[in-house]
């Protein structure tokens, strides 16, 4: 039930004083000041009895009806029951008042008092229903939002768990080769590989990280790729300090770099050029396109995963532009 302490403090005395004035049930010139004070107190008690009884009716009848499918029937029933109760208490109160006071029995005054009580009850019943339904809708929205957030977090976790950096096998083979042939390079390679997997472990469950942190990770990651592919890859970065304040899902750039390597062929004479830049409201990752002439074993999870993560986190979609000579993915900027 709505917390109505403030409404009760204000309107119970106001109605207790106002109802006799409006209905004319009290002839004020017949009474002394103490008697008028007692009369007002009597009608304030009447007002309180009507208010408390109507509250009980609201609480008792509300669970009996579905808040959506029978909304108007519920409101009509609550109004009818409350009006019947309020009119009955109002009528009983006037009879007691006339019996106790110096008033002359008058059906017109009694009827008017009952009518005013019924009108006030219906008015406040409708007010209460509006406030209650608004509160109920607010609570429902909070529940829906919470469930949606939990669903999104569950989906995000599932998508994140799909991100298996499969280059581990090739990286270990490369490391094995370096240990035998270039021990000094192997030590550096091993440190970079450790930094890459430290990044994976630390940020696996996070929704967003700074672009600056992602770029530091990309530096380590691309170092491993360059050694593995003997310098057939080139990375061009066109970002400034202001750009680094942007946020990005962890490993978003890594997915795009990995995707470019997986789908294109490249040599020392024709290396793969990958460029990371910012343009308007997007982070652009582009590469020169030279698709492999043979079918590759790809699950297609990479871009789908990244697109789903962006929809969950920012309600925005990534954009993919396929040109004859270039392939570009635009990631929405998150501040």
Q: Kindly give the confidence (pLDDT) of every residue in the chain, 335 residues in length, as a single tens digit, with 9 standing for 90 and above.
A: 445 676 777 778 888 788 888 888 888 888 888 888 888 888 888 888 888 888 888 777 766 655 545 667 777 878 888 888 888 888 888 888 888 887 777 788 788 888 888 888 888 888 777 777 777 777 777 877 776 666 656 555 555 555 445 567 777 778 887 888 888 888 888 888 888 888 888 887 788 888 889 999 999 989 888 888 887 899 999 887 766 678 888 888 988 998 898 888 888 888 999 999 987 788 999 999 888 876 565 555 667 777 877 887 788 888 899 888 899 999 988 87
Cβ-Cβ contacts under 8 Å for 229 (sequence gap 6 or more): 261, 266
Give how many domains the chain has, as a whole number: 2
- The verdict on 106 and 167 lying in the same domain is no
Question: Is residue 158 one of the residues assigned to a domain?
Answer: no
The 3-state DSSP class for residue 71 equals: helix
- The verdict on 192 and 319 lying in the same domain is yes
Burial of 118 (0-12, 13-18, 19+ CB in 10 A): buried
Give the range of the structural domain holding residue 131, as residue numbers without chain letter: 5-149
CA distances, 47 to each of 20, 50, 51, 86 (Å): 11, 5, 6, 9
- The verdict on 134 and 182 lying in the same domain is no
- The verdict on 172 and 308 lying in the same domain is yes
- The verdict on 145 and 175 lying in the same domain is no
- The verdict on 37 and 73 lying in the same domain is yes
In DSSP notation, 6-70 reads HHHHHHHHHHHHHHHHHHT---GGGS-HHHHHHHHHHHHHHHHHHHHHHHHHHHHHGGGS-TTTT
- The verdict on 175 and 145 lying in the same domain is no
Which tokens go with 273? 């050029």
Which tokens go with 318? 């990534």
Question: Is residue 154 one of the residues assigned to a domain?
Answer: no
For residue 241, give the nearest of 271, 286, 211 by alpha carbon. 211
Question: Is residue 286 one of the residues assigned to a domain?
Answer: yes
């Amino acid at each position: 039930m709505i917390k109505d302490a403030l409404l009760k403090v204000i309107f119970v005395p106001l109605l207790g004083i106002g109802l006799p004035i409006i209905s004319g049930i009290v002839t004020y010139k017949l009474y002394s000041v103490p008697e008028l004070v007692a009369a007002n107190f009597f009608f304030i008690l009447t007002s309180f009895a009507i208010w408390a009884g109507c509250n009980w009716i609201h609480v008792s009848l509300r669970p009996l009806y579905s808040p959506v499918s029978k909304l108007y029937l519920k409101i009509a029933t609550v109004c009818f029951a409350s009006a019947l109760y309020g009119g009955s208490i109002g009528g009983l109160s006037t009879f007691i008042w006339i019996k106790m006071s110096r008033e002359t029995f008058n059906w017109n005054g009694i009827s008017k008092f009952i009518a005013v009580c019924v009108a006030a009850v219906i008015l406040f019943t409708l007010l209460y229903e509006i406030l209650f339904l608004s509160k109920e809708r607010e609570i429902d929205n909070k529940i829906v939002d919470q469930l949606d957030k939990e669903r999104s977090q569950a989906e995000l976790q599932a998508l994140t768990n799909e991100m298996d950096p499969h280059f581990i096998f090739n990286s270990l083979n490369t490391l094995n080769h370096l240990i035998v042939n270039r021990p000094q390079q192997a030590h550096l390679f091993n440190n970079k590989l450790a930094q890459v997997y430290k990044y994976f472990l630390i940020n696996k469950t996070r929704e967003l990280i700074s672009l600056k942190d992602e770029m530091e990770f990309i530096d380590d990651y691309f170092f491993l790729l360059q050694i593995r592919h003997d310098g057939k890859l080139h990375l061009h970065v066109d970002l400034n300090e202001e750009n680094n304040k942007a946020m990005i899902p962890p490993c978003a750039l890594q997915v795009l770099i990995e995707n470019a390597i997986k789908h294109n062929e490249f040599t020392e004479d024709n290396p793969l050029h990958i460029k990371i830049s910012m343009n308007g409201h997007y982070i652009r990752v582009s590469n020169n396109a030279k698709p492999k002439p043979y079918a590759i074993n790809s699950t297609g999870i990479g871009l789908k995963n990244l697109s789903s993560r962006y929809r969950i986190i920012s309600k925005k979609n990534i954009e993919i532009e396929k040109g004859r000579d270039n392939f570009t993915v635009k990631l929405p900027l998150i501040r």
